[in-house]
């Protein structure tokens, strides 16, 4: 896989491509669930070029992308806890987003991003990792459970005027 897919830190020059990747993967995964106005509002709010540029410049957030043949095909964004979890530890972190283009699912890219995230969180002495996952996305729920995440709560996640039930999942990192 290393010859075909390159895991790397995105550069500021990747902003437009990363924003497009975010919009495309969200739309591929969830686009049919929303009215077009709600979807467009959400995509502008979360994946516009200006928002992605701000996030790439934010020292509290860390991104990794996977590239194949010069095209970004997957990404992960991690940072401090921002889901409404009850009493996360001061050293807790969160996987904010992890997405893989639909045509690249099943190639181990999600696992590769998750392995990078686990190593990253260990390197900064994170003791808990949180993630928010759409309650009606069983594939994603199984993916996180495979890595030891457990459901600990839920909240309403707005996409325009629609509010989805989102599960909060947590994994505790223990010393090996």
In whole angstroms, give the CA distance from residue 70 to residue 66.
Answer: 10
Is 66 in contact with 6 (CB distance < 8 Å)?
A: yes
Task: Report domain extents, the chain.
Answer: 6-172
* CA pair distance 79, 49, nearest whole angstrom: 19
Please, what's the b/e burial string for 142-159 (b: 16 or more CB within 10 A of its CB; e: otherwise)? ebbeebebeeeeeeebeb
Q: Which residue has the tokens 């990253």?
A: 120
Q: What order do you get walking across the sheet with 71-79 strand by strand?
A: 6-8, 62-68, 71-79, 93-100, 128-134, 162-172, 150-159
* Interval 14-34: pLDDT, tens: 999 999 999 999 999 999 999
- With beta carbons less than 8 A apart as the criterion, state whether 169 and 48 touch: no
Is the pLDDT at 2 greater than 70? The verdict is no
Does the pTM exceed 0.85? yes
CA distances from 19 to 6, 13, 66 (A): 18, 11, 14
For 134, counting Cβ atoms within 10 Å of its Cβ (0-12 exposed, 13-18 middle, 19+ buried), the class is middle
**Cα separations in angstroms, 15 against 18, 56, 72, 138:** 5, 8, 11, 30
Residues written for the chain: 176
Residue 51 has pLDDT above 60, yes or no: yes
Q: Selecting from 3.40.190.10, 3.10.450.40, 3.40.50.800, 3.40.630.30, what CATH number does the domain 6-172 have?
A: 3.40.630.30
Which residues touch 86 (CB under 8 Å, ≥6 apart)? 152, 153
- What is the pLDDT at residue 91? 93
Residue 1 has pLDDT above 70, yes or no: no
């Amino acid at each position: 896989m290393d010859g075909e897919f390159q895991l790397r830190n995105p550069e500021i020059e990747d902003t437009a491509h990363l924003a497009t990747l975010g919009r495309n993967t969200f739309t591929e995964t969830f686009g049919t669930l929303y009215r077009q106005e709600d979807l467009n509002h959400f995509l502008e709010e979360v994946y516009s070029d200006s928002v992605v540029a701000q996030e790439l410049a934010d020292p509290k957030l860390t991104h990794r992308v996977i590239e194949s043949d010069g095209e970004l095909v997957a990404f992960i964004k991690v940072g401090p806890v921002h889901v409404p979890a009850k009493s996360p530890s001061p050293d807790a972190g969160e996987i904010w987003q992890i997405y893989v283009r639909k045509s690249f699912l099943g190639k181990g890219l999600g696992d590769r991003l998750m392995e990078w995230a686990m190593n990253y969180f260990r390197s900064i002495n994170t003791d808990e990792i949180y993630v928010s996952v759409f309650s009606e996305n069983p594939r994603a729920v199984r993916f996180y459970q495979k890595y030891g995440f457990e459901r600990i709560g839920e909240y309403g996640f707005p996409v325009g005027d629609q509010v989805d039930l989102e599960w909060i999942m947590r994994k505790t990192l223990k010393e090996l």
